[in-house]
Every structure is written in structure tokens, then in C-alpha cells.
């Protein structure tokens, strides 16, 4: 008798459908235009020549500052 009850309970448990909570549909995040990223790509394509390119040096400095969480220092006035 006990075995019959156990088998019946197991069969009922296995036949139950679990209520799966509905998941929100995944959102695609489309990146906006990132001038820094574009500059990095340009410098990457220049290869060794990028070491002599002033724009690439600026891009690398900005990338480093962004990575380290630094804020840009205000530019010194040129009138002096």
C-alpha cells in the first residue's frame, strides 16, 4: 500500500508543470557614436606610425584617463 502511494505521488509530481516566471525580453543596447573608440580604431590601423601621430597620443592619453577614472585637467590659459 505504501509503495502504491509513493508511486502515485511521484507520478503526480512529475506530471506537474512548473510555473516559470515570465522573463522580460532581452533589450539590445546599440552603442552610440563614440569618438574615442573611433580614434582607437584609427590608431590601431596605423600600426607603428601611430607612435608618431599626435592625435593617437591624445587618444591614448584620454583612453588611459578614462580607464583610471581620472578627470581631465583644465587647460592652462595661453595668454601668459
User: What does the pLDDT profile of the chain (80 residues) look like in tens digits?
Assistant: 888 898 888 888 888 766 666 676 666 666 678 889 999 999 999 999 999 999 999 999 999 999 998 876 655 566 55
Helix (H) or strand (E) segment spanning residue 56: helix 54-68
Nearest to 43, CA basis, from 64, 18, 72: 64
Contact 33, 49 (CB under 8 A): no
> In whole angstroms, how far apart are CA 75 and each of 26, 55, 59, 72, 79?
43, 17, 16, 9, 12
pLDDT for the residue 2: 84
pLDDT for the residue 48: 94
pLDDT for the residue 12: 85
Based on the number of CB atoms within 10 Å of its own CB, is 43 exposed (0-12), middle (13-18) or buried (19 or more)? buried
pLDDT for the residue 11: 85
Domain spans of the chain, in order of start:
34-71
Amino acid at each position: 500500500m505504501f509503495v502504491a502511494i509513493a508511486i502515485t505521488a511521484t507520478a503526480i509530481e512529475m506530471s506537474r508543470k512548473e510555473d516559470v516566471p515570465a522573463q522580460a525580453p532581452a533589450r539590445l543596447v546599440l552603442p552610440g557614436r563614440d569618438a574615442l573608440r573611433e580614434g582607437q580604431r584609427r590608431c590601431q590601423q596605423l600600426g607603428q606610425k601611430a607612435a608618431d601621430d599626435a592625435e593617437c597620443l591624445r587618444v591614448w592619453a584620454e583612453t588611459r584617463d578614462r580607464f583610471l577614472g581620472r578627470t581631465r585637467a583644465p587647460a592652462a590659459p595661453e595668454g601668459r
